[in-house]
Amino acid sequence: MVSELIRLSWEDFNEPLESDGTEMENFLNDLDNYPHAFVLGSIMDKQIQADRAWAIPYKVYKELGNFDIDFLSNVPLEKYKELFNKGSYHRFNDKCATEFYEGVHKIKEDYGGDASKIWSGKPTSKTIVNRFLEFKGVGPKIATMATNILIREYKIKVSDFEAIDVSVDSQVEKVMPRLGLVSQNPTKEEIIIKAREMNPEYPGIIDRTLWKVGREYCHNTNPDCDNCPLKNECDYYLKPQKGETEDKFNKLIKLGEMHDKGLLSDEEFASLKQELLAEDTTTKTND
Ligand code: SF4
């Protein structure tokens, strides 16, 4: 049932880092010289659009003209608050300016100013997640997301992937129920547990694929199912929806084609077909 999702996720995992080549992107991707920009960007990534959050370290850099950790650690908290409020960096400027300031000092004090020590030396994924969790303003979602990005995008070496849970965002919450992997109104815990069950060695591998499918195909209304790479294992696409007007006959043909191609077992085909026909009967009875 989930084989295509996992296969696509590994395909996405093996893709090289995407970059639009702008000065900001180059700055954020420069883990050799500015690993703390990645950590501070992660800390900011909450309750606003991700692009806006990740731009904050770059904006600070441009305002101050320097992003060396020694320099940053000499900037007073009030100055950070002033920058955040003046540039409206975040929805919660004072709070996030404080977390930025404290993040800088934690990197300086706990890691000797070198944030790459958080992930260097091929640690376990759990070690990296726990190190992120020690930063003020970082919860499990940010910690696992940051670890996942380091591994997937920056190819940081780790000894395992087990502690990297799926980061539950609005795309994941939309696509997983439609695929039929979780209930229609799932809790975050239900989604996390399902992802662990699907791929215990790396639960969070599905993050990026679900995000891409959610953005490009699985729109809130009128999802572009015909072009979606997950349509052949999607309940929403394969099963009749309550109140939908789509022609049941076409759906039956589609199910038959899938059965012929071996994408549905005899039992799955029979069960789905029965559901379609039962819905017709119910409708007629109600009429
Ligand atoms: S087939 Fe349609 S409903 Fe299912 S995941 Fe793709 S776009 Fe969403």
pLDDT digits (tens, 9 = 90+) for 219-247: 998 899 999 999 999 999 987 665 555 56
Residues with CB under 6 A from ligand 1: 175, 178-179, 213, 217-218, 223-225, 228, 230-231, 234, 236-237
Per-residue model confidence (pLDDT) at position 240: 63
Closest atom, ligand 1, to C-alpha of 229:
6
Mean pLDDT in residue range 239-265: 68
Domain ranges (residues) in the chain: 16-152, 239-287
Read off the DSSP letter of residue 203: G
Q: In the chain, pLDDT over 70 holds for what percent of residues?
A: 92
* Number of DSSP helices (H) and strands (E) in the chain, helices first: 16, 0
CA of 61 to the centre of ligand 1 (A): 41
Chosen CATH of 16-152 out of 3.40.718.10, 1.10.340.30, 3.40.50.300, 3.65.10.10: 1.10.340.30
Structure-block tokens of residue 30:
């420069």
Per-residue model confidence (pLDDT) at position 287: 32
Per-residue model confidence (pLDDT) at position 279: 60
Mean pLDDT in residue range 187-213: 94
pLDDT digits (tens, 9 = 90+) for 14-54: 887 777 789 999 999 999 999 999 999 999 999 898 899 99
Protein residue with its CA nearest to atom 8 in ligand 1: 218
Closest CA to 97 of 114, 106, 107, 85: 85
Per-residue burial over 243-271, b = 16 or more CB atoms within 10 Å of its CB, e = otherwise = eeeeeeeebeeebeebbeeeebeeeebee
Q: Model pTM greater than 0.85?
A: no
Structure-block tokens of residue 266:
């005899």
| pLDDT above 70 for 248 | no
Residues 6 or more apart whose CB falls under 8 angstroms from that of 11 comprise none
3-state secondary structure 185-209: CCCHHHHHHHHHHHCCCCHHHHHHH
CA of 56 to the centre of ligand 1 (A): 34
Closest CA to 234 of 207, 248, 214, 215: 214
* Average pLDDT over all residues of the chain: 89
CA of 230 to the centre of ligand 1 (A): 6
pLDDT digits (tens, 9 = 90+) for 87-128: 999 999 999 999 999 999 999 999 999 999 999 999 999 999
**198 pLDDT band (50/70/90 cuts)?**
very high
